[in-house]
Structure 1
Amino acid sequence: MIRHIVLVRFRADVDEPTIDALFEELHAIEGKIDGLLSITSGRSESPEKIERGYMHGFVADFADWQALEAYQAHPDHQRFGARLVAHAEGGLDGILVFDLPVQN
């Protein structure tokens, strides 16, 4: 399994309803891509408070690398990704992506 982890620093002028709408758009992709197992999204509630401005994020689990590639190429993901970048602080600089192979 591949765990696709995305952390976002949204611009200061982006409000929570806009962020919620972005994550709803992301969740609409579920069921459209073979091998996309689940998506979890939201705001950090870490008691450690060391997010360094990355207060929102999501995790998408994929069966394998091919499923992640299909997600990346999917037009719904392309649209969502462009909107996410447009709302992130500094554009792409406000987004971190980490893909972790997970042994079952």
Structure 2
Amino acid sequence: MMKHIVLLQFKESHTPEEIKHAFALLEGLGKTIPQIKSFKYGKYDSNEGMNHGFDYGFEIEFDNAADRDIYLFHPDHVAVAGQVIPMLRHGTDSLVAFDYDPAKGL
């Protein structure tokens, strides 16, 4: 299994409805990219304060790295990213993507 975790910093000018729409676009990729096994997202929710300004995140699961790579370069993903990235505070500098395979461990 491959987990693709992305943390995002949206511009403060975006409404909750606009942000919800961005996540609906991302979630909708599961309909056109069969390699996506699950999609979960949410807003930062901790008193710890260790989010470093990243206020939203999502996680996508794939069977393997090859399936993740199909998603990364799929035209539908590229199109959605082209709509979401301009909503971020500093473009791609306002996101962190972290992929790992829990079965591999260290």
Normalization by structure 2: what TM-score? Answer: 0.90
Deviation by residue 1:50-96 (Cα, 9 ceiling, x = unmatched) = 21110101000110011101111112111111122101111110011
- Secondary structure, counterpart of 2:42 in structure 1: strand
- Secondary structure, counterpart of 2:89 in structure 1: coil
Quick one: distance in 2 between partners of 1:10 and 1:74?
23
Instruction: Show the 5 A alignment for 1:1-104.
Output: 1-103=1-103
Q: Which amino acid aligns with 1:47?
A: N
Range with bigger deviation, 46-55 or 58-67: 46-55
Q: Confirm or deny: 8 A CA contact 1:33 1:67 kept in the other structure.
A: no
Quick one: distance in 2 between partners of 1:5 and 1:25?
16
- Secondary structure, counterpart of 1:7 in structure 2: strand
Supply the RMSD in Å over aligned alpha carbons: 1.4
Quick one: distance in 2 between partners of 1:12 and 1:100?
30
Give the unaligned 5+ runs of structure 1: none
Deviation by residue 1:26-50 (Cα, 9 ceiling, x = unmatched) = 1111143233110101211123122
Give the unaligned 5+ runs of structure 2: none
Normalization by structure 1: what TM-score? Answer: 0.92
| Percent identity for Structure 1 against Structure 2 | 26
Q: Which amino acid aligns with 2:88?
A: A
Which stretches of structure 1, 4 residues or more, deviate above 3 A after TM superposition?
Answer: none
- Secondary structure, counterpart of 1:58 in structure 2: strand
